[in-house]
Structure 1
Amino acid sequence: MFRAIGRFAVHRPWLTIAGWLIAAVALAMLAPGLKSTTDETEFLPSHYESVQAGKLQENAFPKTEQPSAIAVFQRADGGKLTTADRADVARIAAGLQDKHREGIAKVATSPQAVSPNGEIALANIVAEKDKGKNPADETVPNAVKDLREDAKPLLKETRLKMGITGQAATALDSRESSGDTDAMIMMATLVLIVVLLLVIFRSPLIALMPVLIIAVVFMVALGLIGTAADLGGLKADNSISAILIVVLFGVGTDYILFLLFRYREELRAGTQPKEALVNSVARVGETIASAAGAVIVAFLALLLSTMGMMRAMGPSLAISVAVTLVAALTLVPAVFSLLGTKAFWPSKAWKKRPRTRLADGLGSLVARRPGVIAALSAAVLAVLAVGTFSFKAEFDTDSSLSSKLESVQAMKDLQRGFSAGQSDPAMVYVQSKSGAPLDKGALDTYKTKLEGVDGVGSATLTTTNPQGTVAQYSVVLKYRPTEDKAIELAGGPLRDAAHSTAPEGTKALVGGTSAVLSDVEKAVTHDYKLVFPVAGLAIMIILGLLLRSLVAPVYLMVSVALGFTATLGATVWLFQDLQHKHGLLFMLPVIVYLFVVAIGTDYNILMVARLREEVRRGVPAREAVRTAVARSTPTIASAAVILAGTFGVLMLADNSMLQQMGFAVAFGILLTAFVMAMLLVPTITSLLGHKAWWPGHQDAPRVAPPAHPSAPAWAETQEARR
Structure 2
Amino acid sequence: MTDTSVSRPQGPAPAPLPPSRWNRYIAAVTGRRSKWAVLAAWVLVLMVAGGFAAKLSQVQDNDPASWLPADSQSTRAVEIAERHFADHDRATAVVVYTRDGGLTPADLAKADADRRTAPGATAATRSADGKAVLFSAPVPMASNDNTVLGDAVDKLRKTTSAGAPSGLDIRVTGQAGTIADYIDAYSGMDGALLGVTLAIVTLVLLVTYRSPVLWLVPLLATFLGTWIAMGVVYLLAKHADLKVDGQSSYVLTVLALGVGTDYALLLIARYREELGRRADRHEAMAHALHRCLPAVTASAATVVIASLCLVFGKMNNTQGLGPVIAIGVAVVCLAAVSLLPALLICLGRWVFWPRRPTVQATRSDGGPWRRLATAIDARPRRIWVGTALVLAALAAASFTLDSGQRLDEQFTKTTDAIAGQRQIGRHFAAGSSEPADIYVADAQAATTVARAAKVPGVAAVAKERSSGGYTHLTAVFADEPDTPSARATVTRVRDALDGSGAVVGGQTAVALDTSHAQGTEEAVLIPLILAVVLAMLVLLLRAVTASLLLIASVVLSYGAALGLAGLLYRALGHPHIDRGLLLFGFLFLVALGIDYTIFLMSRAREEAHLHGHRAGIRDGLSLTGGVITSAGLVLAATFSVLVVLPTVGALQQGLLIAGGVLLDTLVVRSLLVPALALDAGKRIWWPTRIED
Q: What is the TM-score when the length of structure 2 is the normalising length?
A: 0.90
Letter in 2 for 1:22: L
What's the Cα RMSD here? 2.6
Aligned to 2:46: 24
2:94 maps to 1:70: yes
Q: Report if the CA contact (8 A) 2:62-2:179 is conserved.
A: no
User: 1:381 and 1:579 mapped to 2: Cα distance?
Assistant: 22
Q: Alignment partner of 1:525: what SS?
A: helix
Which string of whole-angstrom CA distances, capped at 9 and with x for unpartnered residues, describes residues 467-524 of structure 1? 6x4222100112232223222321x212111226xxxxx4211111111221111111
Which string of whole-angstrom CA distances, capped at 9 and with x for unpartnered residues, describes residues 332-369 of structure 1? 11000101101112334777877963222212112222
* Cα 1:313/1:155, change in 2 over 3 Å: same
User: 2:667 and 2:544 mapped to 1: Cα distance?
Assistant: 23
User: 2:417 and 2:664 mapped to 1: Cα distance?
Assistant: 39
* Cα 1:382/1:627, change in 2 over 3 Å: same
Aligned to 1:155: 164
Q: Alignment partner of 1:493: what SS?
A: helix
Aligned to 2:477: 477
Q: Alignment partner of 2:459: what SS?
A: strand
**More divergent stretch after superposition (322-331 vs 179-188):** 179-188
Q: Report if the CA contact (8 A) 1:366-1:625 is conserved.
A: no
Q: Report if the CA contact (8 A) 1:181-1:650 is conserved.
A: no
Q: Report if the CA contact (8 A) 1:429-1:470 is conserved.
A: yes
2:260 maps to 1:252: yes
Which string of whole-angstrom CA distances, capped at 9 and with x for unpartnered residues, describes residues 528-560 of structure 1? 011111111111111111111211111111111
**More divergent stretch after superposition (39-48 vs 364-373):** 39-48
User: 1:463 and 1:66 mapped to 2: Cα distance?
Assistant: 15
Aligned to 2:115: 93
Aligned to 2:308: 300
Which string of whole-angstrom CA distances, capped at 9 and with x for unpartnered residues, describes residues 171-201 of structure 1? 3333334458656643332222212222222
User: 2:315 and 2:402 mapped to 1: Cα distance?
Assistant: 20
Q: Report if the CA contact (8 A) 1:21-1:216 is conserved.
A: no
* Cα 1:594/1:170, change in 2 over 3 Å: same
Residue 241 (structure 1) shift: 2.8
* Cα 1:350/1:199, change in 2 over 3 Å: farther
Gaps of 5+ in 1: 98-104, 432-436, 501-505, 702-722
2:527 maps to 1:543: no
User: 1:525 and 1:153 mapped to 2: Cα distance?
Assistant: 46
Aligned to 2:503: 509
Aligned to 1:709: none
Aligned to 2:6: none
* Cα 1:652/1:236, change in 2 over 3 Å: closer
Letter in 2 for 1:413: Q
Aligned to 1:449: 451
Letter in 2 for 1:483: T
Q: Report if the CA contact (8 A) 1:607-1:628 is conserved.
A: yes
Q: What is the TM-score when the length of structure 1 is the normalising length?
A: 0.86
User: 1:523 and 1:30 mapped to 2: Cα distance?
Assistant: 33
**More divergent stretch after superposition (166-175 vs 49-58):** 166-175
Q: How many residues align?
A: 666
Aligned to 1:388: 398
2:680 to 685, 688, 708: 688
* Cα 1:283/1:641, change in 2 over 3 Å: same
* Cα 1:580/1:198, change in 2 over 3 Å: closer
User: 2:65 and 2:644 mapped to 1: Cα distance?
Assistant: 32
**More divergent stretch after superposition (514-523 vs 64-73):** 64-73
Letter in 1 for 2:194: M
- The 5 A counterparts of 1:297-376 are 297-348=305-356, 357-376=367-386
Q: Alignment partner of 1:220: what SS?
A: helix
Residue 67 (structure 1) shift: 5.4
* Cα 1:153/1:227, change in 2 over 3 Å: closer
Aligned to 2:153: 144
Aligned to 2:9: none
User: 1:46 and 1:378 mapped to 2: Cα distance?
Assistant: 42
Letter in 2 for 1:374: W
Residue 445 (structure 1) shift: 4.9
Aligned to 2:4: none
2:25 maps to 1:5: yes
Residue 383 (structure 1) shift: 0.9
* Cα 1:350/1:160, change in 2 over 3 Å: farther
Aligned to 1:499: 498
2:515 to 510, 521, 533: 521
Letter in 1 for 2:113: R
Residue 269 (structure 1) shift: 3.5
1:459 to 458, 461, 467: 461
Residue 10 (structure 1) shift: 1.4
User: 1:674 and 1:246 mapped to 2: Cα distance?
Assistant: 21
Q: Alignment partner of 2:355: what SS?
A: coil
Aligned to 1:643: 635
2:438 maps to 1:419: no
Residue 265 (structure 1) shift: 1.4
Q: Report if the CA contact (8 A) 2:438-2:504 is conserved.
A: yes
Letter in 2 for 1:382: A
User: 2:411 and 2:174 mapped to 1: Cα distance?
Assistant: 13
2:609 maps to 1:599: no
- The 5 A counterparts of 1:564-643 are 564-576=558-570, 578=571, 581=574, 583-617=576-610, 619-643=611-635
Q: Alignment partner of 2:543: what SS?
A: coil
Q: Report if the CA contact (8 A) 2:440-2:503 is conserved.
A: yes
1:203 to 200, 211, 236: 211
User: 2:236 and 2:643 mapped to 1: Cα distance?
Assistant: 34
User: 2:318 and 2:170 mapped to 1: Cα distance?
Assistant: 38
Gaps of 5+ in 2: 1-20
User: 1:534 and 1:660 mapped to 2: Cα distance?
Assistant: 24
- The 5 A counterparts of 1:234-313 are 234-313=242-321
Q: Report if the CA contact (8 A) 1:20-1:331 is conserved.
A: yes
Q: Report if the CA contact (8 A) 1:92-1:154 is conserved.
A: no
Aligned to 2:14: none
User: 2:323 and 2:123 mapped to 1: Cα distance?
Assistant: 50
Aligned to 1:122: 134
User: 2:398 and 2:590 mapped to 1: Cα distance?
Assistant: 16
Q: Report if the CA contact (8 A) 2:114-2:159 is conserved.
A: no
User: 2:386 and 2:187 mapped to 1: Cα distance?
Assistant: 42
Q: Alignment partner of 2:438: what SS?
A: strand
**Percent sequence identity over aligned pairs:** 29
